[in-house]
């Protein structure tokens, strides 16, 4: 199996621990865990090492998670603190819901587990299904595509994917050597070599419409290049935006080169732009909630030009 990043190891651990703890006597065999979560025994032991340091203040033994890894089994003992009902603020509830849905998107996660049942109870309490429902969604790909990509990563086989490019606003076919799968910000990404671009690329898995194995082997670089969503080295330019409080979500959703929060609640953000079409759609979406403070020459007037084209289309 390909080496996992720290983020992937954490995601996998957070899915494994509650599942094992929910089993009879909090025990499961290493074989069961490895098959369910698509992880080998050595990586499983590495994941569980960090659990012995997880707990709450003052971090006495009775407030730490106890993970016992034997030759053939794993036992997880949760302290009583983790079994108590909690009173959550609105912000904490939102964070809990999004994190729970992200964890349940991990291949092998048990959708009938305590986590899934707890999530269902919280959503029912909030009124999901009614006109006042709180709808929390995290973009995930169909399980079949995710599993196929993971299998291709492990077998080192080239795949043919149908991919929607948000930046270009089109869907096309690409031939990819899949190196690794990463989790970042609640989303899954495929890192690999794109034959069409003849360069390394990162693809959001929820935008992959289809994946087909070509049964063609490839050799991945060793070590793999560091995973980066967008490093800005090939950017068309940079733009500085002044965001109103209602648009602060931009700082959490897109990689930024700098972010400065002001006392009045506004935020200044600097973005490296790789696609003019993407920038135009962002500015149209933000509308009056964003002001362009500074922009590279190649990006100046992007919002105005997009608005004019949109207005012209409506007039037609």
Render pLDDT for 184-201 as a digit per residue (tens, 0 to 9). 766 788 999 999 888 888
Render pLDDT for 71-85 as a digit per residue (tens, 0 to 9). 888 888 877 666 666
> Taking 80 as the threshold, does the pLDDT of residue 250 lie above it?
yes
In contact, 188 and 181? CB cutoff 8 Å: yes
Tell which of 187, 217, 247 closes a domain: 217
Residue 110 falls inside a structural domain? yes
pLDDT-based confidence at 44, cuts 50/70/90? confident
Residue 177 falls inside a structural domain? yes
- Give the pLDDT of residue 65: 78
| CA 163 distance to own-chain centroid | 17
16 and 107 in a common domain: yes
Render pLDDT for 83-112 as a digit per residue (tens, 0 to 9). 666 666 666 666 777 677 666 666 556 677
Q: Which domain holds residue 21?
A: 6-126
Residue 230 falls inside a structural domain? no
pLDDT-based confidence at 131, cuts 50/70/90? very low
> Taking 90 as the threshold, does the pLDDT of residue 161 lie above it?
yes
| CA 150 distance to own-chain centroid | 15
User: How far apart are alpha carbons 316 and 311 in whole angstroms?
Assistant: 9
108 and 20 in a common domain: yes
pTM: 0.45
Residue 132 falls inside a structural domain? no
- Give the pLDDT of residue 157: 94
CATH value at residue 290: 3.30.70
Residue 33 falls inside a structural domain? yes
Percent over 90 (pLDDT), the chain:
14
> Taking 70 as the threshold, does the pLDDT of residue 142 lie above it?
no
* Most confident segment among 17-21, 126-130, 303-307: 17-21
- Give the pLDDT of residue 82: 64
Residue 188 falls inside a structural domain? yes
> Taking 90 as the threshold, does the pLDDT of residue 308 lie above it?
no
Residue 224 falls inside a structural domain? no
pLDDT-based confidence at 260, cuts 50/70/90? very high
Residue 135 falls inside a structural domain? no
Its sign, for the CA torsion 197, 198, 203, 207, is: positive
90 and 24 in a common domain: yes
> Taking 90 as the threshold, does the pLDDT of residue 267 lie above it?
yes
User: How far apart are alpha carbons 244 and 291 in whole angstroms?
Assistant: 9
CATH value at residue 174: 2.30.30.100
Instruction: Give the count of domains, the chain.
Output: 3
Tell which of 217, 245, 270 closes a domain: 217
User: How far apart are alpha carbons 233 and 299 in whole angstroms?
Assistant: 16
């Amino acid at each position: 199996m390909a080496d996992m990043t720290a983020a992937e190891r954490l995601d996998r651990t957070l899915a494994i621990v509650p599942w094992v703890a929910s089993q009879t006597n909090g025990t499961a065999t290493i074989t069961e865990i490895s098959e369910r979560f698509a992880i080998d025994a050595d990586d499983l032991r590495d994941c569980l090492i960090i659990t012995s340091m997880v707990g709450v203040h003052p971090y006495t033994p009775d407030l730490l998670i106890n993970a016992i890894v034997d030759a053939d089994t794993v036992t997880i003992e949760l302290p009583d603190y983790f079994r108590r009902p909690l009173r959550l603020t609105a912000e904490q509830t939102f964070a809990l819901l999004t994190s729970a849905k992200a964890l349940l998107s991990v291949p092998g996660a048990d959708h009938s587990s305590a986590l899934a049942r707890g999530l269902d109870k919280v959503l029912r309490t909030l009124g999901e299904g009614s006109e006042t429902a709180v709808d929390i969604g995290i973009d995930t790909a169909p399980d079949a595509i995710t599993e196929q990509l993971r299998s291709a990563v492990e077998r080192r086989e080239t795949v043919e994917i149908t991919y929607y490019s948000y930046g270009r606003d089109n869907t096309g076919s690409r031939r990819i050597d899949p190196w690794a799968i990463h989790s970042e910000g609640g989303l899954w990404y495929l890192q690999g070599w794109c034959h069409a671009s003849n360069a390394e690329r990162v693809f959001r898995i929820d935008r992959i419409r289809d994946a087909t194995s070509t049964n063609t082997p490839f050799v991945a670089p060793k070590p793999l290049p560091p995973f980066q969503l967008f490093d800005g080295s090939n950017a068309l330019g940079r733009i500085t935006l002044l965001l109103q409080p209602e648009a602060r979500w931009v700082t959490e959703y897109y990689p930024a080169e700098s972010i400065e929060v002001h006392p009045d609640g506004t935020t200044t953000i600097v973005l490296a732009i790789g696609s003019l079409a993407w920038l135009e759609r962002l500015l149209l979406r933000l509308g009056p909630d964003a002001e362009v403070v500074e922009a590279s020459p190649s990006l100046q007037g992007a919002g105005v030009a997009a608005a004019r084209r949109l207005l012209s289309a409506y007039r037609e």
